[in-house]
Amino acid sequence: MLNKLALSGIKHRMRDYTVLFSGLMIASAIFYMFLSLALNKTFLKSNSPAAATAFIFGFGIVLLAIITIVYINYANTFLLSMRQKEYGMFMMLGAKSSKISRMIFVETFTIGAISTIIGALLGIIATKYVSQWMITALDMHVTHFSSFYLPALVWTFIFFIVIFVFSAIRNSISLRRTKILTLLHKDSQPSKIKRNGAVKAVQAVLGIIFLVIGYFCMWYIGKNAAFIFLGVPIALVTIVIGTYFTINSAITAVISLLKRNTKYSQKGLNNFTLSQLSFRIGDYTKILSMVSIMFALALGAITVGLGFQKQISAVVNGQNYYDVAVHNADTAQKNRINHLSGDDQSNYSYKIDDNKKIIYYRASELKKQPFHYEAFNMKSMISTTKKSTNIADPDVSYSMLQNMMPKYRMSQIKMVNDADYNNIPGKSNTLTLVKTSSFKNNLSKIRTISKEEAKRYPELKNAGGDKYSAYIMINGFFSGLEFMGFFLGIAFLAMLASCLMFKILSGANGDVKRYNMLYKIGTRQRVLRSTINKEIAVLFAVPAGLGVIHVLLGLQMFKGILFQPYTHIEVPFGIFIVLYLCYYLLTRYLYKKIVLK
Amino acid sequence: MQKIVEVKNVEKIYGKVGEKQFKALSDVNFEVQPGEFVGIMGASGSGKTTLLNILSTLDTPTSGSVQIAGQDITKLNTNEMADFRANKIGFIFQDFNLLENLTAYENIALPLALQNVSPKKIKPAVTAITEKLGLTEILNHYPTELSGGQKQRVAAARALVHEPSIVFGDEPTGALDSKSARALMDTMTKINREDNVSILLVTHDPFSASYCDRILFIRDGEIGQELKKEESSRGEFYQEILDSLGTFVE
Q: How far is CA B195 from CA A38, A283, A313, B161, B210, in A?
A: 75, 43, 80, 12, 20
Determine the distance in angstroms separating the CA of A248 from the nearest CA of chain B, rounded to an integer.
17
Residue B25 phi/psi, 5° resolution? -135, 140
From the list B114, B142, B145, the residue facing A522 with the nearest CB is B114
Check CB contact under 8 Å for A517 and B97. yes
Please check whether residue B87 touches A, CB under 8 A.
Answer: yes
Is residue B98 classed exposed, middle or buried when 0-12, 13-18 and 19+ CB atoms within 10 A define those classes? buried
Dihedral, CA atoms, B134, B138, B143, B148, nearest 10 degrees? -40
Is the Cβ–Cβ distance between A61 and A53 less than 8 Å?
Answer: no
Q: What is the reported pLDDT for A55? A: 66
pLDDT exceeds 80 at position A3: no
Q: What is the reported pLDDT for A50? A: 52
Check CB contact under 8 Å for B106 and A525. no
Give the pLDDT band of residue B167 (cuts 50, 70, 90). Answer: very high
Return the amino acid letter for A301.
A
Overall average pLDDT of the A416-429 stretch: 89
Mean pLDDT of chain A: 82
Would you give the DSSP letter of residue A247?
I
* Mutation site, A193, A513, A525, A529, interface B, largest B CB count within 10 A: A193
Overall average pLDDT of the A178-187 stretch: 65
Overall average pLDDT of the A465-485 stretch: 76
Cα separation, B135 vs B160, in Å, equals 13
Q: Which residues, listed in sequence order, are joined to residue B8 by a DSSP beta bridge? A: B65
Say whether B6 sits in a helix, a strand or coil.
Answer: strand
Determine the distance in angstroms separating the CA of A87 from the nearest CA of chain B, rounded to an integer.
24
Q: What is the reported pLDDT for A5? A: 67
pLDDT exceeds 50 at position A190: no
Would you give the DSSP letter of residue B235?
H
ipTM: 0.86
Please check whether residue B80 touches A, CB under 8 A.
Answer: no
Overall average pLDDT of the A261-272 stretch: 85
Is the Cβ–Cβ distance between A342 and A436 less than 8 Å?
Answer: yes
pLDDT exceeds 90 at position A581: yes
Q: What is the reported pLDDT for B157? A: 93
Higher pLDDT, A133 or A361: A361
**% of chain A residues with pLDDT over 70:** 91
Residues of chain B contacting residue A278, judged by C-beta atoms under 8 Å apart: 101
Say whether A267 sits in a helix, a strand or coil.
Answer: coil
A215-239 pLDDT, tens digit per residue, is: 999 888 888 877 877 888 888 889 8
Closest CA to B201 of B163, A382, A508, B192: B192
Residue A524 phi/psi, 5° resolution? -70, 150
Please check whether residue B242 touches A, CB under 8 A.
Answer: no
Q: What is the reported pLDDT for A140? A: 67
Overall average pLDDT of the A290-298 stretch: 84
Q: Which residues, listed in sequence order, are joined to residue A69 by a DSSP beta bridge? A: none
* Mutation site, B57, B92, B114, interface A, largest A CB count within 10 A: B114
Overall average pLDDT of the B174-178 stretch: 86
Check CB contact under 8 Å for A193 and B58. no
B30-62 pLDDT, tens digit per residue, is: 999 999 999 999 888 888 889 999 998 888 999
Nearest CA in chain A to B109: A266
Q: What is the pTM of this model?
A: 0.74
Q: What is the reported pLDDT for B5? A: 92
Q: What is the reported pLDDT for B211? A: 93
**% of chain A residues with pLDDT over 90:** 12
- Are β-strands B37-41 and B198-203 bridged in parallel, bridged antiparallel, or unpaired? parallel
Determine the distance in angstroms separating the CA of B28 from the nearest CA of chain A, rounded to an integer.
23
* Mutation site, A524, A526, A529, interface B, largest B CB count within 10 A: A524
Is residue B103 classed exposed, middle or buried when 0-12, 13-18 and 19+ CB atoms within 10 A define those classes? buried
Highest mean pLDDT among A70-74, A314-318, B179-183 belongs to: B179-183
Determine the distance in angstroms separating the CA of A188 from the nearest CA of chain B, rounded to an integer.
10
Give the pLDDT band of residue A381 (cuts 50, 70, 90). Answer: low
Q: What is the reported pLDDT for B41? A: 92
Nearest CA in chain B to A267: B113
From the list B82, B101, B116, the residue facing A522 with the nearest CB is B82
Determine the distance in angstroms separating the CA of A266 from the nearest CA of chain B, rounded to an integer.
5
Nearest CA in chain A to B159: A521
* Mutation site, B87, B92, B102, interface A, largest A CB count within 10 A: B102
Residues of chain B contacting residue A281, judged by C-beta atoms under 8 Å apart: none
Least confident among A130-134, A165-169, A533-537, B212-216: A130-134
Overall average pLDDT of the A109-136 stretch: 86
pLDDT exceeds 60 at position A128: yes
CA dihedral sign of residues B199, B201, B207, B213: positive
Overall average pLDDT of the A531-535 stretch: 92
pLDDT exceeds 60 at position A166: yes
Q: What is the reported pLDDT for B1? A: 66
Higher pLDDT, A491 or A371: A371
Is the Cβ–Cβ distance between A502 and A16 less than 8 Å?
Answer: no
Cα angle, residue A169 at apex, residues A166 and A172 outer, rounded to 5°: 150
Q: What is the reported pLDDT for A565? A: 77
**% of chain B residues with pLDDT over 90:** 38
